[in-house]
């Protein structure tokens, strides 16, 4: 099965193509495989030659966190209905409809998300299978029901409000899912089945959950495992992404966000440092006043009334400056305004000194 060729007309795959999941609590990983059952068995036993549609190992929880959400029903509109119509029109019109659906499914496949990849290949393969039947009308209904059941989970409200449904937002604890709950009321008995495989030769611990026509039982299986393990969903305080962790201590989802956070901290520090500059400027200004007053005191013949005036102005300056600094701390004044004022004040004392020199 070559996925690149999947969305054009070819001989259908007659075997069951299944979606398989292995959860690794210890490594906090999930492995998802899709393909023929026999190939998945090979893959689970470490055979690198297994021909799989996809085989990805990701962080635990990703399946639930990234699960396809399609409230507009695009899968139905652009993926399934054109193929259903193609089964009912004359053969000259078929290629156009196949192309439309093929383009949609290829795009979904190209995202490399295993859920989308599996659904895209299954939809196409069901179509190809249905084309083989003589009694196309009956077969086409069955085809639509089947792939409609598979993509139905994409329209589940679970994945529209996943923050509230997957976990308790206060505690972060994963929630158990019951297939009888509101979200799953539409699910037929047939679509609640899940298989558990224990394929391990070397490592008999491996438990592989497998579904075929419905994602619903996989969602329930996954959510219940996480809840049983007491794992917690956290929201990254940098990017807002949800991720799974052993405890709520983890506030940042990835190395990338950790770096972004460090950069942000540095920026905030620099901004604070810049704001504190006005204080330094004020202290320098005071020192400059004191120096000038001292020099005046030491200067022979410096007019006493001028000196008194300088001391007076300096006291007023300090008093006003303290008031303004308080305003800045209360965010009622910008540090820049204060610095501009300091700058103006420095010319006041210069004026007093120079006045006395003119005499």
Q: How far is the CB of 235 from Zn ion (least distance, A)?
A: 9
Which tokens is 178 given? 């019951």
Residues whose CB falls within 8 Å of the CB of residue 150, separated by 6 or more in sequence, listed in order: 119, 122, 123, 213, 214, 215
Q: How far is the CB of 256 from Zn ion (least distance, A)?
A: 7
Q: How far is the CB of 234 from Zn ion (least distance, A)?
A: 10
Q: How far is the CB of 231 from Zn ion (least distance, A)?
A: 18
Three-state SS sequence of the chain: CCHHHCCCCCCCCCCCEEEEEEEECCCCEEEEEEEEHHHHHHHHCCCCCCCCCEEEEEECCHHHHCCCCCCCCHHHHHHHHHHHHHCCCCCCCHHHHHHHHHHHHHHHHHCCCHHHHHHHHHHHHHHHHHHCCCCHHHHHHHHHHHHHHHHHHHHCHHHCCHHHHHECCCCCEECCCCCCCHHHCCCCHHHHCCEEECCCCCCCCCCEEEECCCCHHHHHHHHHHHHHCCCEEEECCCCCCEEEECCCCCCCCCHHHHHHHHHHHHHHHHHHHHHHHHHHHHHHHHHHHHHHHHHHHHCCCCCHHHHHHHHHHHHHHHHHHHHHHHHHHCCCCCHHHHHHHHHHHHHHHHHHHHHHHHC
Binders of Zn ion among residues 230 to 249 (CB under 5 A) are 236, 238-239, 241
Q: How far is the CB of 239 from Zn ion (least distance, A)?
A: 3
- The stretch near Zn ion (CB under 5 A) out of 27-35, 125-133, 176-184, 256-264 is 256-264
Nearer Cβ to Zn ion (61/149): 61
Nearer Cβ to Zn ion (260/353): 260
**Which residues lie across from 197 on neighbouring strands?**
208
Nearer Cβ to Zn ion (32/253): 253
Nearer Cβ to Zn ion (143/257): 257
Nearer Cβ to Zn ion (258/318): 258
Residue 59 as a binder of Zn ion (CB under 5 A): the answer is no
Residues in the interface with Zn ion (CB under 5 A) total: 6
Nearer Cβ to Zn ion (139/239): 239
Q: How far is the CB of 36 from Zn ion (least distance, A)?
A: 37
Nearer Cβ to Zn ion (65/281): 65
- The stretch near Zn ion (CB under 5 A) out of 6-14, 102-110, 257-265, 325-333 is 257-265
Given candidates 147, 257, 293, 321, which one binds Zn ion under the rule CB under 5 A?
257
Q: How far is the CB of 116 from Zn ion (least distance, A)?
A: 23
Q: How far is the CB of 255 from Zn ion (least distance, A)?
A: 10
* Stretch 269-298: interaction string toward Zn ion, x if CB under 5 A: ------------------------------
- The stretch near Zn ion (CB under 5 A) out of 42-50, 95-103, 149-157, 228-236 is 228-236
Which tokens is 67 given? 């699960």
Q: How far is the CB of 60 from Zn ion (least distance, A)?
A: 16
Nearer Cβ to Zn ion (207/251): 251
Nearer Cβ to Zn ion (95/240): 240
Angstrom distance (rounded) from CA 241 to CA 223? 18
Angstrom distance (rounded) from CA 137 to CA 287? 95
Q: How far is the CB of 252 from Zn ion (least distance, A)?
A: 6
Nearer Cβ to Zn ion (187/253): 253
Dihedral (CA of 209, 215, 220, 225) sign:
positive
Given candidates 13, 87, 152, 253, which one binds Zn ion under the rule CB under 5 A?
253
Closest CA to 99 of 69, 127, 59: 127
| Residues near Zn ion, by CB under 5 A | 236, 238-239, 241, 253, 257
């Amino acid at each position: 099965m070559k996925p690149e060729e999947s969305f054009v007309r070819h001989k259908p795959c007659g075997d069951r193509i299944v979606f398989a999941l292995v959860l690794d609590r210890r490594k906090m990983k999930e492995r998802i495989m899709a393909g023929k059952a026999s190939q998945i068995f090979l893959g689970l036993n470490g055979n690198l030659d297994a021909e799989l549609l996809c085989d990805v190992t990701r962080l635990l929880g990703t399946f639930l966190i990234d699960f396809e959400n399609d409230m507009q029903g695009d899968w139905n509109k652009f993926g399934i209905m054109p193929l259903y119509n193609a089964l009912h029109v004359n053969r000259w019109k078929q290629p156009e409809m196949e192309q439309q659906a093929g383009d949609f499914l290829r795009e979904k496949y190209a995202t490399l998300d295993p859920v989308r990849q599996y659904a895209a290949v299954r939809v196409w393969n069901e179509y190809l299978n249905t084309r083989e039947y003589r009694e196309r009308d009956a077969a086409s209904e069955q085809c639509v029901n089947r792939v409609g059941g598979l993509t139905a989970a994409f329209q589940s409200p679970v994945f529209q409000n996943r923050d509230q449904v997957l976990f308790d937002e206060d505690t972060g604890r994963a929630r158990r899912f019951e297939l009888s709950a509101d979200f799953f009321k539409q699910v037929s008995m047939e679509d609640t089945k899940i298989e558990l495989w224990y394929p391990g030769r070397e490592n008999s611990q491996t438990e592989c959950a497998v579904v075929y026509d419905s994602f619903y039982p996989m969602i329930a299986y996954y959510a219940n495992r996480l809840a049983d393990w007491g794992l917690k969903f956290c929201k990254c305080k940098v990017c807002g992404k949800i991720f799974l962790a052993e405890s709520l201590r983890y506030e940042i989802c990835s190395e990338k966000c950790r770096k972004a956070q460090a950069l942000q901290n540095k920026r905030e520090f620099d901004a604070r440092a810049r704001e504190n500059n006005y204080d330094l400027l004020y202290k320098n200004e005071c020192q400059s006043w004191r120096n000038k007053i001292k020099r005046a005191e030491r200067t022979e013949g410096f007019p006493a009334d001028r000196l008194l005036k300088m001391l007076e102005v300096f006291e007023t300056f300090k008093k006003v400056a303290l008031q303004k600094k308080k305003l800045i701390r209360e965010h009622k004044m910008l540090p820049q305004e204060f610095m501009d004022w300091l700058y103006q004040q420095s010319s006041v004392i210069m004026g007093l000194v120079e006045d006395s020199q003119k005499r």
